[in-house]
Amino acid sequence: MRLFIAEKPSLGRAIAAGLGDAEKRNGYIECGQNVVTWCFGHLLEMDKPEEYDEKYRTWKKEDLPILPNSFNASVRKESAAQLKIIGKLLQDAERVVNAGDPDREGQLLVDEVLEYHNYAGSCERIWLAALDDKSVKKALSSMTDNNDYIGLRDAARARSQADWLVGINCTRAMTLIGRDAGSHGVLSLGRVQTPTLALVVNRDLVIENFKPHPYFTLHVEILHETGRFTGTFQPLDTQKGLDDQGRLINPDEAFRIKKEVSGQTGKVIESVTEKKKKNPPLPHCLSSLQKAASSKLGMGAKQVLDAAQALYEKKLTTYPRSDCRYLPEEQFDEAGSVLAVLASLPGLEQVAENTDSSIKSAAYNTKKVTAHHAIIPTGETPSNLSGDESALYHMIAQSFCIQFYAAMEFEAQKILTGINNTVWKSTGRKILNPGWTAFIKEEKSDAEKAEKNEEQDLPIVHEGDGITAADVEIKSKKTKPPARFTEGMLIEAMANIHRFIENTDAKKTLKENEGIGTEATRAGIIETLKARHLLALQKKNITSTDLGRQLVKMAPEVLTDPVTTAQWESRLSAIADGKESLSGFMTDQTIQVPELIKAIFALQLDPLPGTHLCPECGQPLRRQKSKKGSWYWGCFNQQGHAKPVFLNDKNGKPDLTPKKKIEVSKHKCQACGKPLVKRESKKKGKGGKKNYWWGCSGFPECRQTYFDDNGKPQFKDKKGE
C-alpha cells in the first residue's frame, strides 16, 4: 500500500480525485492500492518553556536566557486523533508520499509526523502548485525522492527553532523590564514583526513631524511655427534658491525668471522622438495581489490571503503563497483552454474574448520560476463564490488574460528649449497601438509616478528651431509628507524593504532575499501586531499605537533593523540548498540570544507615558487581575516600603482617593479591649432609614462586631462603656 500524507484535507481530496476509485473512510480515503490521509496544518507544536522546566512558568529575569539542549514538540490536543490514524496507516504502508504544500513549511509539516512515528521506510515527494485535475495528474507522474528535500526541511526547522529562541527570550526580557517602567501587557519581540512595526512607527513619526514648506514650479507656453506646447522650468546646477531636492523655494528667483523669460525668444536645444512598447503587467504573486486588492477593493492582507486560499482549495486558482510572477513555458499550450472558460464568465467576457492565445508574453519564462509560479486561474468553472472570492478571482483572471494582448505601443517625445539662459522641458506621448490598455487601465510604476511632467501632444520640431515664450505662469505648491501605510502598501514595503535602507551592502542583501518575511507569513505578522495592540487600523490606513512606539523605542537596534532578518533568510536559503547546516546556524543563535538579553536588561527606562506611580515610593504601579477576576493595582517595590501596596481599580486606573479617617469611639471591644468603630450598614431600615453596626478597630486580628442600640454598641452583658 502507498500512503499519501497531505498537508490539509482539501489537498488530500484533490490527490484522491487524481488517483481515482476514491472511497472515503474515517480520516483517510482509499483509492485502490493507494490511501490518502492528511494533517490539519502542524499536528505537532514546539514545547513551551514550562514544559522543559516548571520554573519557567513564572517569568523571572534570573531564568533568562532559556536555551534548551534540544527542542521538543508535543501533540496538539485537537490533532491527537488524526495523528493516531496516520500512525496506524503507516504500519501497513510499503511506501509513503510527502504531500505537504510546496514550500519549506509544508516539507517540515509532514516530515515531523514521520519522525514522530519513527517511520524509516521509502518516502517520495509530490510537488503540487495547483489542485486542478490536470496539475494533480501531472504531479503524480513526476514524483521525486523525499530525501532530496532534507535541506528544505532543515531550513524550516532552523526558522522555527531560532524564532522560538529569539521570540521567547526577548519577549520575556522586554516584558520584565517594561514592567519596571510601567508597562502592563506583554511586550513581544520577533525577528520579522519588530522591524515591520518599526517601519510603521518611523513612517508615522515622519508624517507627524513633517513641516511643509512652499516651493514654486514655472510653466511657459511656447510658440513654434508648427504649434503651441507647454514647457516646465528645469533648474540648472548654478540656479540659486533651490532646496536639497532641487525645488525652487525662493519667490524672488521665481519672479525674476518670469520677468526675464516672458515674451522672449529662444530655440529648441533638443528634440527626441522614440518608439517604445509597454508590456502588460505580469500575473500576480501574493504580495502584488494583496497590494492591488488593498488599493482597488479595500481588502486587508489576511482577507486577501484567506480568499486566495479558498480559491486554491476550490481548484479555481493555483497556489496562493507564491513569491513569483512568472509562469513555466511548459504551461503555455494550456492557456487557450483556460481563456475559453474565462470568456464564458460574466464580467470577464470582453477581456477574455479579445485575447490572442498565440501571443507569448514575458511572463512565460521557466528560468525565472521559483518554487511556485504566478497565481493564475486553473480553467475550472467557478461557482458559489463569496463576495471576496469573486472579486479576487476576477482580479487574478484579468491579470492572466492581458498576458495574451499586444504590448501598448507609443511614441515618447521630449523637447528641451532654451530661453534667456534657462531650460524648459516638454514631454509628450502619442499612442500608436493601445494594445492591452484598450481593456485594462494602465497602472504606472512608482518611477513613472515620480515623473510629474505632464504629457501632451507635441508638434514636430527640430533642434535649432526658433521659438517664442508667452507669459510664464508661477504655481505655488507645498511639500507633502509620505502617505500612511495601508495593509497592501505595508506588505509591499516588507517585500521591498531595501528601499528604506541607506547602506549599499544592506540594500543588496535585502533585495536579493526579497525583503523580510515571506509571501506566506507577512499577512499573519501584520495580524499579530494588530492583535497585540501594536498596530491599529484607521479606516484604510494602518498606524502605530502608543504601545507600538514605546516598544520600538526600547527594543535593541539589532531587532528593529531589517538587515538582521534578511541575513537570517539568506542563511535559511543556504540551508535549503545544502550550503549550510542546521546545527551551525543554531549554534550562532545560542551565542547571540544571551547578548540580546544583556542589551535589553541594560536599558535605562524612564516611566512610560500614562504610567501610574505608587503614592508611597513613586515607582510604577502594575495592574493585576485577582483570582476572582477583578482588577487591582499593586506596587512590588520592596525597597520603597515595608510591604506591598494594593489599590482598587477605578475605570482602568488606580484609585488614589485618600481614605476617610476612621473615628474611633470611647466604647471598648469586649474581646480585646480596643476602641470600637461605628459603621453604616449597606442594608437600609424601614422607609430607607440608615442602619449602623459596630466593629473592632483591631481588625483583622480581632473580628468582633456588635449591633447598634440607639447610637451605642449592644453588649451582651450591657457593659463595656
67 and 593 Cβ atoms separated by less than 8 Å: yes
Cα separation, 635 vs 641, in Å, equals 9
Q: Which three cell numbers stand for residue 583?
A: 546545527
Q: State the catalytic residues.
A: 319
Task: Tell me the three cell numbers of residue 594.
Answer: 544571551
Alpha-carbon distances, residue 65 vs 171, 174, 191, 294, 381 (angstroms): 11, 12, 17, 40, 55
Give the side-chain half-sphere CA count within 13 A for 653. Answer: 8
Angle between helices 150-180 and 104-116 (to 10 degrees): 100
Which residues, listed in sequence order, are joined to residue 650 by a DSSP beta bridge? 653
Reference 507, options 449, 561, 469; nearest CA is 561
Please, are residues 38 and 98 in contact by the beta-carbon 8 Å criterion?
no
For helices 133-140 and 9-19, the axis angle rounded to 10 degrees is: 80
Determine phi and psi for 625, rounding to 5 degrees. -110, 130
Instruction: Write the CB contacts of 127 (distance below 8 Å, at least 6 apart in sequence).
Output: 102, 139, 142, 143, 144
The Cβ of residue 261 has, within 10 Å, a number of other Cβ atoms equal to: 22
Concatenated DSSP letters for 640-705? Answer: TSSS-EEEEEETTEE--PPPPPPPP-S-B-TTT-PBEEEEE-SS--GGG---EEEEETTTTT---E
Long-range pairs for 701-705 at CB < 8 Å and ≥24 separation? Answer: 701/672, 702/669, 702/671, 702/672, 702/674, 704/669, 704/670, 704/671, 704/672
Burial 519-540 (b: 16+ CB within 10 A, else e): bbbbbebbbbbbebebbeeeee
**Letter string b/e over residues 451-481, b meaning 16 or more CB atoms within 10 A of that residue's CB:** eeeeeeebbebeeebebebeebeeeeeeeee
C-alpha to C-alpha distance for 282 and 287, rounded to whole angstroms: 13
Give the 3-state secondary structure of residue 502: coil
The strand pair at 214-224 and 227-234 is best described as antiparallel
Separation CA 213–CA 479 (nearest Å): 6
Residues 694/706, Cβ–Cβ less than 8 Å? yes
CA distance linking residue 335 with residue 133, whole number of Å: 15
Q: Which residues 6+ apart lie within 8 Å of 54 measured at CB? A: none
Contacts of 405 (CB under 8 A, 6+ apart): 280, 354, 355, 356, 359, 435, 436, 438, 439
- The string of DSSP letters for 391-425 reads HHHHHHHHHHHGGGSPPEEEEEEEEEEEETTEEEE
Separation of alpha carbons 533 and 546, rounded Å: 9
Distance between CA atoms of 111 and 118, rounded to whole angstroms?
Answer: 10
- Cα separation, 305 vs 611, whole angstroms: 38
Cα 411 to Cα 416, 417, 462: the distances in Å are: 17, 20, 16
User: Is the CB of residue 334 less than 8 Å from the CB of residue 134?
Assistant: yes
